[in-house]
Amino acid sequence: MEMLYEKLIEATDFIQSVISGKPEIAIILGSGLGTLSDQLETPVVIPYKDIPHFPLSTVAGHAGRLLFGSLHGTPVMMMEGRPHYYEGYSMRQIAFPVFLMKFLGVKKLVITNACGGINNDFSPGTLMIIDDFINLVSDNPLIGINDERLGPRFPDMSEPYSLEIISLAEKVADNLGIEYSRGVYAGFQGPYYETAAEIRSIGRMGADAVGMSTVSETIAANYAGIECFAIACITNMATGIQKVKHSHQRVLEIARLSSVTLSRWISSLIKALESSR
Ligand code: HPA
């Protein structure tokens, strides 16, 4: 890995010169899903552009900053916005923030995203716990010479999302009266929304939802020894299932509406994770 380790040390040193303490849990806030950051206590904000080697997010609805602070006493960090493959970043660049989390001491990662529903039981606004993924991009962040300081050459991927956290999240949702589904997320390259034929074939492969993020972050986290949990917000039904054309504005609108419930859920989950330790 060309100087990746050294770049990560540089970024880590910079962040540690700004914050105090170590984040235990990281949360990636997807498009329009940023309201959780309002609950952050004693926030320290670091724009991505200030962090050495950090990839910038160029998409509308993505703020592009790291937030550090605490939620119910647990030190956390949040990513407001994320880099995507379709923006031209390499998979390694997309994984950079996840590797950085490891260097900062993060043990658990909560990923959120906005995506399209394939499962006919879903509708816009459905919150889906991701319990497995399908990587539709013929690339991933681990391709190339391996640096054992980051993770093993052949990482196991039989439980990409922690069954323990999933079970806790289900209990938390039940207690809060939050409805949710569970399913498989397929990561599509984008940036165009899939064709109807692609959606039919992705559905037959076993995916319940499809989106343009999350998979590479999940792979990087598992490789780096960070436990993962992910919730997908179904903002629209996928091409051919919904009869209207896609609109990014509409995606953001539904995500913002769902964000309130999603934030309540994740906030309580973090409290529950702390007390289950
Ligand atoms: N497909 C891919 N990505 C998405 C979608 C979709 O239908 N909706 C939101 N992100």
Q: Per-residue confidence of the chain (277 residues) as pLDDT tens digits?
A: 469 999 999 999 999 999 999 999 999 998 888 889 999 999 999 999 999 999 987 766 557 999 999 999 999 999 998 999 999 999 999 999 999 999 999 999 999 999 999 999 999 999 999 999 999 999 999 999 999 999 999 999 999 999 999 999 999 999 999 999 999 999 999 999 999 999 999 999 999 999 999 999 999 999 999 999 999 999 999 999 999 999 999 999 999 999 999 999 999 999 999 888 7
- Is omega for the bond preceding 152 within 30 degrees of 0, making it cis? no
Q: What secondary structure letter does DSSP report for 121?
A: T
Closest C-alpha to ligand 1, atom 7: 116
Per-residue confidence (pLDDT) for residue 61, from 0 to 100 = 56
Q: With contact defined as beta carbons under 8 Å apart, do 18 and 46 qualify? A: yes
Per-residue confidence (pLDDT) for residue 59, from 0 to 100 = 66
Ligand 1: distance of its center to the CA of 210 in Å?
A: 6
* Burial class of 122 by CB neighbour count within 10 A (0 to 12, 13 to 18, 19+): buried
d(CA 82, CA 214): 10
Per-residue confidence (pLDDT) for residue 211, from 0 to 100 = 98
Catalytic residues: 31, 62, 84, 86-87, 114, 212-213, 236, 248
Ligand 1 first shell, C-beta below 6 A? 114-116, 188, 193-194, 210-212, 235-236, 238, 251
CA 201, 203, 207, 208 dihedral sign is: positive
Atom of ligand 1 nearest to the CA of 239: 7
Distances in Å between the Cα of 213 and the Cα atoms of 19, 30, 48, 148, 165 are: 28, 9, 18, 25, 21
To test the pocket of ligand 1, the residue of 198, 215, 251 to mutate (highest count of ligand atoms within 8 Å of its CB) is 251
To test the pocket of ligand 1, the residue of 127, 210, 234 to mutate (highest count of ligand atoms within 8 Å of its CB) is 210
The backbone torsions φ and ψ at residue 16, rounded to the nearest 5 degrees and listed phi first, read -65, -20
pTM equals 0.96
d(CA 9, CA 103): 8
Q: With contact defined as beta carbons under 8 Å apart, do 270 and 73 qualify? A: no
d(CA 197, CA 99): 36
Ligand 1: distance of its center to the CA of 114 in Å?
A: 7
d(CA 107, CA 15): 17
User: Could you tell me the residue ranges of all domains in the chain?
Assistant: 2-275
Identify any residues that bridge with 211 across adjacent strands, giving them in sequence order.
187
Atom of ligand 1 nearest to the CA of 194: 1
Pick the CATH number of 2-275 from 3.40.50.12280, 3.40.50.1820, 3.40.50.1580, 1.10.3430.10: 3.40.50.1580
Per-residue confidence (pLDDT) for residue 2, from 0 to 100 = 67
d(CA 81, CA 48): 10
